[in-house]
Amino acid sequence: MHPRPPRIRRRLPRPSEFAPLLQRRQRAATRDERRVQGAVDINDLRALAKRRRPRAVFDYVDGGAESEVAMRRARDAFERVEFRPFVLRDVTSVSTATTILGAASTMPLVFGPTGYTRMMHTRGESAVARVAARAGIPYALSTVGTTSPEDFAVASGSGRRWFQLYVQRNRDHSLSLIERAQASGFDTLVLTVDVPVTGGRMRDLRNGLTIPPSLTWRTFVDGARHPGWLVDFLTTEPLVFASGGHDSGMSLEEIADAMFDAGVTWDDLRWFREVWPGRLVVKGVQRIDDAERMPDMGVDGIVISNHGGRQLDRAPTPLELLPPMVKAVGDRMEIMVDTGVRSGADVVAAVALGASAALVGRAYLYGLMAGGEAGVQRVVDIFRDDIQRTMQLLGITSIAELEPSMVHLPDR
């Protein structure tokens, strides 16, 4: 017969013992801050953004080209990453600081260029620029951004400014744009080369998305379900491109056909190198033999990118292309990567495999749609905390210690 367990002695709790149990989380100062403070990762912000924006606007950010195979594969590559950590190392103090294209950055993260950003939130690029400047990371303004280079410079203050250029048919217009960027303190030109024509954005076609969004009966009803967005859309200034052109309710494909030049060649790259005095980055490189030509043409860095899976579907997966690209040209210019980056662990994996930084676009747009500037700040906080935690768990204390042996990328 088993002995009976001793009785639990019970007592009434003292009033002083309740205080630690009843502590409440500090209340955020603004409504947007309260809305996003519970988001613990980018997927939480994505879910908030989906609830707070009309379907066509959310799908423009969230979607890819055609069957979205390239977009899924890019994300899958990061999810397949297997870390190989060191143990028994002192990781009490960790620094995420690094250099990107020869200048200091608080972490190996860049806010990449995104188009039509004020469609996601009325404060658009200006809100993102303020956050990037506070965070101490670069931010690239897009040719089809909705804030002028001059206003962007004011918003970013002392922050590091890059300008992304889509080559337009009118070369004088392109030259005027980069001259404005130079005069506004932009130190890096990001030449995007993977958009001779617009990819087949099927979600946008199904949604009938135009720039600005056309107020058909369907889109008005959808907008009415998101009254905050609709009021901002109807009562603030119309969307204006960084290029200085105004939209006229055209589809994305019509805008691209009117603005972009499908005849861009290597000779144009040489010309831009001649006319741009700052650092030159080529974004959209997807072949090693293309990358091998660029250092001799004065290119300072490349971004391995399939444009977020928004151009050629079933294009190469950037993270998989990174190691052989680094082996081929990594000693001659800087290599960055984008597409599918959703966490600080993704950034750490990319840097360990040889990238100097990772670019994000969707991630901060989810934050912008979820909570404006506060949402973008939450994105920065999530990435910074995640990068630091991942470094500590890997057993390192500086970005310079990251190396390929720490990452294994299994085949599909």
Would you name the residues annotated as active-site residues? 307
CA distances from 403 to 76, 100, 139, 226, 406 (A): 21, 17, 26, 46, 6
Contact present, 77 and 105 (Cβ < 8 Å): no
C-alpha 43: how far from chain center = 14
Give the Cα separation of 96 and 80 in Å (integer): 23
Of 106, 123, 118, 116, nearest to 32 by C-alpha is 123
Give the Cα separation of 343 and 392 in Å (integer): 15
DSSP string of 230-247? Answer: HHHHHHSPPPB-TTSPBP
Q: Is the dihedral of CA 364, 365, 366, 367 positive or negative?
A: positive
C-alpha 121: how far from chain center = 16
**What is the separation, in whole angstroms, between the first and last Cα of the chain?**
58
Per-residue tokens: 13: 């709790």
CA distances from 326 to 78, 137, 289, 354 (A): 17, 23, 12, 6
Q: How many CB atoms lie within 10 A of CB 389?
A: 15
Q: How many CB atoms lie within 10 A of CB 323?
A: 16
Contacts 24+ apart (CB under 8 A), 273-276: 273/297, 273/298, 273/299, 275/175, 275/178, 276/178, 276/182, 276/189
DSSP string of 177-209? Answer: HHHHHHHTT--EEEEE-S-SS----HHHHHHT-
